[in-house]
A and B are shown apart, each in its own frame.
Chain A
Amino acid sequence: MRTPLTGALAAGLLIAGAVCVSVLRAQVPAPASTTIPKRPAPRTPWGDPDLQGIWSSDEEAGVPFERPLGQTKAKVNGTELEALLEEREHQRADNAATIGGVTGAGPVHWYEIWGRQSARTSLVVDPADGRVPRLIPEAEQRQQRRTRPMGSFSAGPFERPDDFSLYDRCITRGLPAMMFPAIYNNNTRIVQAPGYVAVTYEMIHETRVIPLDGRPFASGRIRGYLGDARARWDDGALVIETRHFSDKTNYRGAGAGLRLVERFRRSHRGLRYEVTVEDPHTFTRSWTAALNLTPGIALFEYACHEGNYAMRNMLSAARAAEAGGRAVK
């Protein structure tokens, strides 16, 4: 309980404090301007914007790629955010328990993606509803003809290595999927040199070495899992355009006709990444997804193919199933 004596003492201290502050203020020269000078963006010794470093997408883990139906806001705060984060953790727990059952391991605090606090409601930022546009009818039919769209997560049959996904086979998670957070290894390293930029993805340790010198794209007869990329600078942002993907790739139904325009630029907490996805033979319109990347700690080796015993073991499991469960050597 506050007594008259403590009240008077508090009032006295307040007055004394105010006097002291005003005296101190009087001794400090007033600033010439009230505007805070903008910190210049870092530059490389040869003058390009400097985006180098290890960047993590962990902070965006848990944000759904597409905005859930019924959610109208791109970002939430306050109690709405608390409820959203709670719901996400429940969903994650439910998903893992439903799909994985008793087969897994480890407490949830091990998860690199557990407890993330992003207030965003979708990674898709355009269209405004946060959802990937519909496929055109031709692309929908194409997707339905895919026999094992999820690789080892499909029901099979698995008869040869090609029946597994490029991810199962340690080739690539594919562009632009490799940028978005998975359950671990969500780190990207950017290294720059005059005329080039190299982007390395921890999962599955692919490195794209991309020219910045304005050279034209290679012939469209040359196709790659990661396509053919050219980069340029645009007002401090690194813009990478990629075309000529192999028809063995499949990103949400798009393959050889996929064209990506990625943008990396400095943001207040790290880097902002945006990718615009175009394929008129697949999507009814182009669309854009975005990530906020924060400084990562380290990029570890992920030499995946060399120790990928799973390929042999999964094929062996499939042969055992054919043989009625008998061991197959």
Chain B
Amino acid sequence: MRSRLFGVVAGAAFAVAAAAVPVMAHHSFAAEFDAKKPVKLRGTVTKMEWINPHSWIHIDVKTPDGKVEQWMVEGGAPNALLRRGWNKNSLLPGTEILVEGFQAKDGAMRANGRDITFPDGKKLFVGSSGTGAPDERPDK
């Protein structure tokens, strides 16, 4: 019984992880970002802002024509990142990363970050801006 239960829960957990479920919310993702505009940004970290309600990662992205675009990527809440093992050295300026996320609805060079991948393939989960899941709603 227990092993079956564990299997079901573990299976559900895996399914959720695989679906990259949103984690952290202070405000709605949909009011700010466009789920139909996924972006992959390969660039160099210039700054990480450890600010609330969400952290912001600044990266310089080289375009194919040689220009440099300055993107801002929204990450999880600093407290949530800290409790999950991030620290000030997790993403130092100069670090090369690949960010997968979703672009801002207004078309600016801003994105909501989902995953960060380092050149060696290691991944860092960034945390999203939110989901609207019932537990996050203020009226509880």
- Which of A105, A113, A310, A328 contacts B26 (CB under 8 A)? A310
Q: From residue B136, how far is it (CB to closest CB) to chain A in Å?
A: 5
**Which residues in chain B, 8-56, are within 8 Å of chain A measured between CB atoms?**
8-9, 12-13, 15-17, 19-29, 31-33, 35, 38, 49, 51-54, 56
Residue interface bits A66-104, CB-to-B below 8 A is 1, else 0: 000000000000010010001001101101110111111
The answer to whether B135 and A103 touch across the interface, beta carbons within 8 angstroms, is no
CB of A207 closer than 8 Å to a CB of B: no
> Contacts A183-B25, A314-B32, A317-B32 given: A96-B137 contact, CB under 8 Å?
no
Residue among A93, A104, A310 making CB contact with B20, cutoff 8 Å: A104
Using C-beta atoms within 8 Å of the partner chain, give the interface range for chain A.
35 or more
Cα A211 to Cα B104 in complex, Å, equals: 46
Is residue A170 within 8 Å, beta carbon to beta carbon, of the partner chain? yes
Question: Any chain B CB within 8 A of the CB of A309?
Answer: yes
Q: A113–B135 contact, CB under 8 A?
A: yes
User: Which chain B residues (98-131) contact chain A, with CB distance < 8 Å?
Assistant: 102, 104-108, 110, 112-115, 125-129, 131
A112 touches B80 (CB 8 A): yes
Cross-chain contact A183 with B24 (CB below 8 angstroms): yes
In the complex with contacts A96-B22, A96-B131, A310-B27, A89-B53 CB distance below 8 A: no
On chain A, the residues within 8 Å of B19 by CB distance are 97, 102
Interfacial chain B residues near A325, Cβ < 8 Å? 105, 107
Enumerate chain B residues within 8 angstroms of A326, measured Cβ to Cβ.
107
A82, B9: Cα distance in complex, Å:
11
A272-310 with Cβ < 8 A to chain B = 300-304, 306-310
Q: Is residue A4 contacting chain B, with contact meaning CB distance below 8 A? A: no
With A and B bound together, what is the CA distance between A256 and B24 in angstroms? 31
Q: A167-B138, A174-B138, A185-B80 are in contact. Are A106 and B23 (CB under 8 A)?
A: yes
Query: Are A184 and B21 within 8 A (Cβ)?
Result: no
Please indicate the chain A residues that have their CB under 8 angstroms from the CB of B16 in the complex.
Answer: 93, 96-97, 107-108
Question: Are A151 and B20 neighbours in the complex by a CB distance under 8 Å?
Answer: no
Please tell me if the beta carbons of B24 and A156 are within 8 angstroms of each other in the complex.
Answer: no
A165 neighbours in B (Cβ, 8 Å): 138
- Specify the chain A residue showing the minimal Cβ separation from B84: A110
Residue A168 at the chain B interface, CB threshold 8 Å: yes
The answer to whether A306 and B52 have CB atoms under 8 Å apart is yes
Contact A177 B140 (CB under 8 A): yes
Q: How far is the CB of B26 from chain A (nearest CB, A)?
A: 7
Tell which of B1, B38, B54, B128 touches A310, judged by Cβ atoms closer than 8 Å. B54
What separation, in Å, do the CA atoms of A101 and B36 have in the docked complex?
A: 11
With both beta carbons as reference points, the residue of chain A lying nearest to B8 in the complex is identified as A86
Q: Contacts A105-B114, A110-B84, A112-B83 known; A317 to B52 CB distance under 8 Å?
A: no
Q: Which residues of B contact A308 (CB under 8 A)?
A: 52-53
Minimum CB–CB distance from B72 to chain A (whole Å) comes to: 8
The answer to whether B9 and A314 have CB atoms under 8 Å apart is no
Residue from B51, B83, B127 within 8 A of A306 (CB atoms) = B51
Contact with B along A164-199 (1 / 0, CB 8 A): 111110100110010011111100000000000000
Residue of B nearest to A251 (CB): B139
B137 x A313 contact (CB < 8 A): no
In the complex, are the beta carbons of A153 and B28 less than 8 A apart? yes
What's the nearest-Cβ distance from chain B to residue A185, in Å? Answer: 6
Check: B79 CB closer than 8 A to any chain A CB: yes
- The residue that B31 contacts in the complex, of A180, A250, A314, with Cβ under 8 A, is A314
Residue in chain B with minimal CB distance to A107: B17
Residues of A at under 8 Å CB distance from B? 61-62, 65, 79, 82, 86, 89-90, 92-93, 95-97, 99-114, 149-153, 156, 158, 164-168, 170, 173-174, 177, 180-185, 202, 204, 250-252, 300-304, 306-310, 313-314, 316-321, 325-328
Chain B residues engaging chain A, CB cutoff 8 angstroms: 1-2, 5, 8-9, 12-13, 15-17, 19-29, 31-33, 35, 38, 49, 51-54, 56, 74, 76-80, 82-84, 102, 104-108, 110, 112-115, 125-129, 131-140
Interchain Cβ contacts under 8 Å between A and B, 5 examples:
A89-B9, A99-B22, A99-B132, A100-B21, A104-B131
Q: Top 4 A-B pairs ranked by shortest CB distance?
A: A104-B22, A307-B51, A100-B22, A327-B107
